[in-house]
């Protein structure tokens, strides 16, 4: 990245300050109980809205609950092969934002059309864990436990940007399918930051007492079968350490971009893994 542009220089300086703070002041990144409670409130409000939408006859995908013209435009974009990614925000019952002390929530949704895919083959891929194959951030994965309509999975995730950070994570995945539609919910039950991965000195930092880049992750998936294939839509919530006020105008954009790009790469990796090329005439 060229630093000739003053805005980029400011972004780089702010990001460097934030990273130095995260690296040199471990106590500042300790996950606090008040942060967990705020995250739980945010998740509860989000899931209440998700359940309301899934029980509504007005639509199924999140994009169906946009303004009609926006929803129709989104479906046309998906049919053209585009990947849709948009930022979201959950509010409380009074319509106000939910404050997260000492923490920051990134909330994004995205969708792709996976051509040639049937819902039955998608469910088989979920059950086998094959939806994880080929994901950009996932360097290792395995299914730890299988039960009807439920999985427990392990993922080693590596996120690369200005710094490279590796995590070992475990996830509880539940899913249901009916009438050409399916929903899935994935909750990270364990996230630990790994130091010196792949070396004899590899070790885990204590959960919640690390650099604070990645503390919580929930993902809510909706799948709808269409004549062209399956539309896969995900809504992703992540919790990280708070961004100091002095660098927030610069670093906030950067952190949100990481979350946005993660949603995009997840969807496009899923499409690349599961799509079938159109049959030749």
Residue 21: per-residue pLDDT: 47
Contact 137, 157 (CB under 8 A): yes
List, in order, residues 6 or more apart from 123 with CB less than 8 Å away: 175, 177, 182
Closest CA to 232 of 102, 24, 84, 49: 84
> CA dist 178 to 111, 115, 183, Å?
20, 20, 9
Residue 241: per-residue pLDDT: 86
Residue 238: per-residue pLDDT: 94
The predicted model gives 59-88 an average pLDDT of 95
Residue 10: per-residue pLDDT: 55
Q: Where are the beta strands (DSSP E) in 164-227?
A: 164-178, 181-195, 203-204, 216-226
Task: Give CA 36 to chain center in angstroms.
Answer: 18
Structure tokens at 7: 């805005």
Contact 157, 141 (CB under 8 A): no
| d(C-alpha 142, C-alpha 175), whole Å | 18
Domain map (residue ranges) of the chain: 6-274
Task: Give CA 245 to chain center in angstroms.
Answer: 25
Report the share of the chain in percent with pLDDT over 90.
Answer: 66
- Cβ atoms within 10 Å of 40's Cβ, excluding its own: 11
Residue 243: per-residue pLDDT: 66
Q: Which residue has the higher pLDDT, 135 or 255?
A: 135
Residue 126: per-residue pLDDT: 92
Residue 13: per-residue pLDDT: 53
Contact 233, 221 (CB under 8 A): yes
Residue 26: per-residue pLDDT: 42
Q: Where are the beta strands (DSSP E) in 80-163?
A: 84-87, 103-115, 138-147, 150-160
| d(C-alpha 167, C-alpha 213), whole Å | 10
> CA dist 247 to 21, 106, 177, 228, Å?
11, 17, 45, 45
Residue 2: per-residue pLDDT: 46
Report the share of the chain in percent with pLDDT over 70.
Answer: 83
- Is the pLDDT reported for residue 74 higher than 60? yes
Residue 280: per-residue pLDDT: 52
Residue 24: per-residue pLDDT: 43
| d(C-alpha 143, C-alpha 170), whole Å | 10
Confidence of residue 193 (pLDDT cuts 50, 70, 90): very high
In CATH, the architecture of 6-274 is 2-Layer Sandwich (3.30)
| d(C-alpha 157, C-alpha 190), whole Å | 12
Lowest mean pLDDT among 58-62, 113-117, 221-225, 273-277: 273-277
Q: Indicate the pTM of the whole model.
A: 0.86
Strand partners, 84: 111
List, in order, residues 6 or more apart from 84 with CB less than 8 Å away: 63, 74, 77, 78, 110, 111, 112
User: Rounded mean pLDDT of the chain?
Assistant: 86
Helix, strand or coil, per DSSP, at residue 233: strand
Q: Which residue has the higher pLDDT, 160 or 220?
A: 220
């Amino acid at each position: 990245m060229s630093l000739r542009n003053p805005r980029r220089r400011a972004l780089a300086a702010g990001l460097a300050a934030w990273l130095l703070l995260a690296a040199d002041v471990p106590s500042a990144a300790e996950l606090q109980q008040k942060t967990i409670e705020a995250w739980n409130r945010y998740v509860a409000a989000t899931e209440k809205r998700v359940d309301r939408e899934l029980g509504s006859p007005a639509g199924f995908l999140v994009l169906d609950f946009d303004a009609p013209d926006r929803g129709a435009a989104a479906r046309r974009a998906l049919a053209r092969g585009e990947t849709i990614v948009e930022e979201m925000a959950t509010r409380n019952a009074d319509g106000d934002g939910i404050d997260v002390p000492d923490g920051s929530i990134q909330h994004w949704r995205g969708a792709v059309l996976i051509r040639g895919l049937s819902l039955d083959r998608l469910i088989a891929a979920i059950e086998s864990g094959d939806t994880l194959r080929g994901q950009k951030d996932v360097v290792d994965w395995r299914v730890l436990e299988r039960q009807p309509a439920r999985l427990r999975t392990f993922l080693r995730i590596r996120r690369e940007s200005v710094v490279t950070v590796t995590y070992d994570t475990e996830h509880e995945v539940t899913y249901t399918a009916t009438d050409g539609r399916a929903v899935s919910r994935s909750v990270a039950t364990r996230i630990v930051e790994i130091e010196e991965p792949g070396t004899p000195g590899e070790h885990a930092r204590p959960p919640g007492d690390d650099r604070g880049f990645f503390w919580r992750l929930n993902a809510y998936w909706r799948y709808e079968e269409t004549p062209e294939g399956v539309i896969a839509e995900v809504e992703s919530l992540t919790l990280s350490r708070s961004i100091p006020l002095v660098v927030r105008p610069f670093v906030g954009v950067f952190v949100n971009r990481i979350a946005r790009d993660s949603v995009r790469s997840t969807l496009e990796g899923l499409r690349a893994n599961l799509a079938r090329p159109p049959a030749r005439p």
